[in-house]
Amino acid sequence: MERIVNKIQALIFKHKNTITFISGTLILVAYASSFLFKNDELFTFALIIASMLGVLPIALQAIQALKVKVISIEVLVTVAVIAAFLIQEYQESAIVTFLFLFGSFLEAKTLNTTRKAIQSLLSLAPLTALRIKDNQSFEEVSVDEIELNDLCLVKTGSNIPVDGIVISGSGVVNEASISGESMPVSKTSGDWVYAGTILDNGTLTIQTQRVGEDTTFGKIIELVEEAQDSKTTTQRFIDRFSRIYTPLVLLLSLLVWLLTQDIETAIIILVLGCPGALVIGVPVSAVAGIGNGAQHGVLFKGSEVVQTLSQVDTVVFDKTGTLTQGQPEVIEDYTYDDDEQLLQSLIVSIERESNHPLAQALINHMKDAAVLPVHSMEVIRGEGLVAQVNDITVIIGNMACMTRFNVNFTPSQQQTLEHLQSQGSSIVLVAIDQQLKAMFGLQDPLRPHVKEDLIQLRRSGIKSLILLSGDHEHSVQRVAQELGLDEAHASMLPQDKSVFIQHLQNQGKKIAFVGDGINDSPSLALADIGIAMGSGTDVAIETSDVVLMKSDFKHLVHAIGLSKAMMSNMTQNIVIAIGVVLFLLANVFLSEWMNMSIGMLVHELSILVVIVNGMRLLNYQKGVKS
């Protein structure tokens, strides 16, 4: 018997839209028969059938809610419709059921639009891959069958199926699903590519490094889905409120009936008191906002993060790789050796052995120099290094390193050193036989348009912009002055930054720390909101609350602006929902025009209004243009 009941329920829910259409048609037939043919019997019969048919899916949902001890909106409507039916108010019962079902239909349609941003991401998830076999032939397999270090061929127009390294070939890749940027990126041998991105042109052979859920794209989807399922404090409050509010409406209706013996007024209260717009208004804002963020390369780790980010008043930045590009360049060089060609060869040969960013900058600056064999090298932590090349002892490092080895400076060289320091440059010194042979001034360029983006942050309500860096004082102050920051502190170790952030929090400030997601993990974790900029690195995704998939400050502006817009939108929807309910209930007692049909119509319209209002977030574009 239970199996038969379940089948009937499933059939009714499956054809809910059909029931809505038939119910509406019967209501039209009823009024046509009354006005055109004066047939009261057909009028009444059609409304009775429309009421009975329309209440079925609503009543079934009400029963399911009561089974889990929840008095839902469907419970209120079902009680109201049955009561109206019993007192032979067939017009009211038929119209209320139709409006409720039709409203549900429109809600589903409009809510689907808010989820398109997520669905468009999901549609990019690769399903198959062309795997290259040992005999160099190809086979199309499911992505789940791809293993680490497998070789995959990707052709023009295809989705890249894995995270990996290009082994051969070249092409142009659309990375919008990862970074939110539609501008194609050129890829060639040695470059990294991401699953879920699209090869617009060319052919690539890729060696697999990560597959499935471990890919950057897989983690993005996981984060977005988790964010949709999570709830803000506001959402949790609304859920608790609705669980208390709905039974109170039922009790109010019962009390009005007992005191006035006016069952029609009691039924109207049941219909008008439904908190539909209140229940749906906040989630639709959250889904639309999170979807917008995902489209623009901004990932929120939950709706709670959005609420906290909207309250931030102080943003603290790391310098290297955050405000700057993280790729130092030589801007000034001075040599004090007759054989400049040999000197360059010595420097390049030694710096090739180092992975320090300044070393790479020197190599790029002297890329045509010949490479000599390095016989020995000693690294002096935090200062520099000493190496032996062709029986020549070369010292490369900072001023502390030169002092350690008693390197002499002429007055002219000392003056040049002070000039570079005043420019805020990082300085690399080269000495041979305790004599200074070269001096290089390097600077890490600021990110493009970062100054304009910081101005936008202030306009969005951020009161204080602070720079914390491990770099030397002159370099940090140069960046701070150029960008107009409120505070700047140099020579800070990670633990120093954490202490400073805690000090700000003790003053009652809401702190967002922005870093590259690789260093300063304690600061990212300690701040109220940790924001990682870094092209979707694993560490960035794991350690922060917000991930900017592209290292571009306009995405930071977008993230903070979007969080504030989302919270404002939620507040608007709450005000609309509560305002409409109070207006309707007041008119039950203060006016004569209010009835069940009008009440239900206004109720459903209020739900559509909050949905449409929430959907506006899909088009939010502050700081970022599609």
The alpha carbon of residue 70 and the mean position of all alpha carbons in its chain are separated, in whole angstroms, by: 33
Q: What are phi and psi of 194, to 5 degrees?
A: -115, 145
Alpha helices in 115-161 (DSSP H): 116-123
**Using CA atoms, how far apart are residues 506 and 502, in angstroms rounded to an integer?**
6
User: Helices 90-114 and 73-86 meet at what angle, rounded to 10?
Assistant: 160
Tokens (6 digits) for 395: 């010292």
Q: By the 8 A CB rule, do 310 and 335 touch?
A: no
Catalytic residue among 163, 318, 520, 528: 318
Single out the residue of 596, 601, 593 nearest to residue 99, CA to CA: 601
CA 42 – CA 149 distance, rounded (Å):
74
> Token match 């990932």: residue?
299
Establish whether 134 is a catalytic residue. Answer: no
Helix (H) or strand (E) holding 477: helix 473-483
Residues 6 or more apart whose CB falls under 8 angstroms from that of 155 comprise: 130, 199, 203
DSSP states of 575-598: HHHHHHHHHHHHHHHH-SS--HHH
Q: Which two tokens stand for residue 199?
A: 């090869």
Please name which of 238, 286, 277, 309 lies closest in space to residue 614, comparing C-alpha atoms: 286
Q: Confirm if 336 and 437 have CB atoms less than 8 A apart.
A: yes
Buried b (16+ CB within 10 A) or exposed e, 330-352: beeebbbbeeeebbbbbbbbbbe
The dihedral built from the CA positions of residue 280, 281, 282 and 285, taken in this order, carries a sign that is positive
Residue 393 token pair:
């002892």
Give one DSSP letter per residue of 207-243, joined into a string.
EEEE-GGGSHHHHHHHHHHHHHHS--HHHHHHHHHHH
CA distance 78 to 85: 10
Tell the burial category of 167 from Cβ atoms under 10 Å away from its Cβ (0-12, 13-18, 19+): middle
Cα gap 204→192, rounded to integer Å: 11
CA distance to 211, 228, 525, 617, per residue, from 517 (Å): 22, 23, 11, 28
d(CA 326, CA 340): 28
Task: Give the catalytic positions in this structure.
Answer: 318
